[in-house]
Structure 1
Amino acid sequence: MFDSILSFLKDLPGGAREKRISPEDDPRVAAAALLFTVLDADGIRDDAEMKRLREILSETYDVSGAELEQLMQAGEKAEQEAVDLYAFTSVLKRHLDADARKAFIGLMWGIVFADGEMHELEDNLVWRVAELIGVDSRDRVLLRQEIQEKSSRN
């Protein structure tokens, strides 16, 4: 299931494949910003979380090298300048279908569990983002359990 969602996410606007769209409406930047937000939610930037963030962005958007660095910088800058989550969640809601929004919540859980533990602020943030992009509580909890189980095996 996630493979088809990741394939959809890779086809979103970006790079040389399509014309550039404004950063405030770029779903890749919005996704990166939200992933930085969950990464920073507990106040600790763990190396494992940063590594997982790089992997997620690289795999999801098929970027590497300078293009990956640009996406990370744009996402981090957008996250630092944001006053709320709506600026990012509204972009994702416009550009992603229901399955892709659900898959994005799975990516957020991947960042949360990259360091082996879940802080209550991380859990709360994923809950708020899920609500804002229209992912129901049941799906959010099932994704959390699935990602938590996978991370405990690694």
Structure 2
Amino acid sequence: MFDAIRNFVAELANGDGQSGVLGDDEFRVAYAALLVHAAAIDGAISDRERIKLKGLLMQRFELDDGAAADLIARATAADERAVDLYHFTRLLNERLDEAGRLRMIETMWTVAYADGALSDYESNLIWRVADLLGVSQEERVALRQRAAAEQGSPA
């Protein structure tokens, strides 16, 4: 028992243990989970939201159809287990620079507008995530307007 503890501590000291660096898979699941949450928060994910979500993830992470479907399934499970947004946003804050955080919020707006209607739930969620990611009110509004214009929806 003592040897096991000593070996564990030695591995950590030598850097052989988990370094605490956010892995690509954990990052992808956190990113996708916030998008899934944005699509589902109004009660149901429409076909247009589902298609948009999958396409955005395929483009963002250079995934094929099967890998994107798997990521969405894992993100949905992670979202269902989550008790708050902080876990996901903390992971994204560790990994994304300012431009990446802005892109995340714009992507969330794009998913929310995909069905042609923005619910109060979607809007509130994205504003809360933006706050947790340190995106200013002015930037949130501009990103919302840009996403709405790209989807042909009124902002």
Q: TM-score range by the shorter chain?
A: 0.7 to 0.9
> How far did 1:65 drift?
2.9
Query: Deviation digits for residues 113-138 of structure 1, max 9, x if unmatched?
Result: 00011101100000000000111110
Normalising by structure 1, what TM-score?
0.82
Does residue 128 of structure 2 align to residue 128 of structure 1?
A: yes
Q: In structure 2, the residue corresponding to 1:105 is in which secondary structure?
A: helix
> How far did 1:21 drift?
3.2
Does residue 72 of structure 2 align to residue 75 of structure 1?
A: no
Query: Deviation digits for residues 13-58 of structure 1, max 9, x if unmatched?
Result: xxxxxxx9385xx211001100011111111211000000000100
RMSD of aligned C-alpha atoms? 1.5
Residue of 6, 20, 23 corresponding to 1:21: 23
> How far did 1:69 drift?
2.0
Q: How far, CA to CA, are the matches of 1:80 and 1:100 in structure 2?
A: 25
Structure 2 letter corresponding to 1:49: E
Q: How far, CA to CA, are the matches of 1:144 and 1:115 in structure 2?
A: 15
Larger Rg: 2
Q: In structure 2, the residue corresponding to 1:45 is in which secondary structure?
A: coil
Q: How far, CA to CA, are the matches of 2:74 and 2:38 in structure 1?
A: 16
Written as runs of structure 1 = structure 2, the 5 A alignment for 1:36-115 is 36-115=36-115
Unmatched tracts of structure 1, length 5 or more: 1-19
Tell me, yes or no, if the aligned pair for 2:29 and 2:75 is still in contact at 8 Å. Answer: yes
Identity of aligned residues (%): 36
Does residue 142 of structure 2 align to residue 147 of structure 1?
A: no
> How far did 1:72 drift?
1.1
Q: In structure 1, the residue corresponding to 2:128 is in which secondary structure?
A: helix
Inter-CA distance 45–33: structure 2 relative to 1 (3 Å threshold) = same
Paired residues, what number? Answer: 132
Structure 1 letter corresponding to 2:57: L
Greater shift in the superposed pair: 69-78 or 131-140: 69-78
Q: How far, CA to CA, are the matches of 1:102 and 1:150 in structure 2?
A: 16
Tell me, yes or no, if the aligned pair for 2:58 and 2:65 is still in contact at 8 Å. Answer: no
Structure 1 letter corresponding to 2:98: A
Tell me, yes or no, if the aligned pair for 2:38 and 2:125 is still in contact at 8 Å. Answer: yes
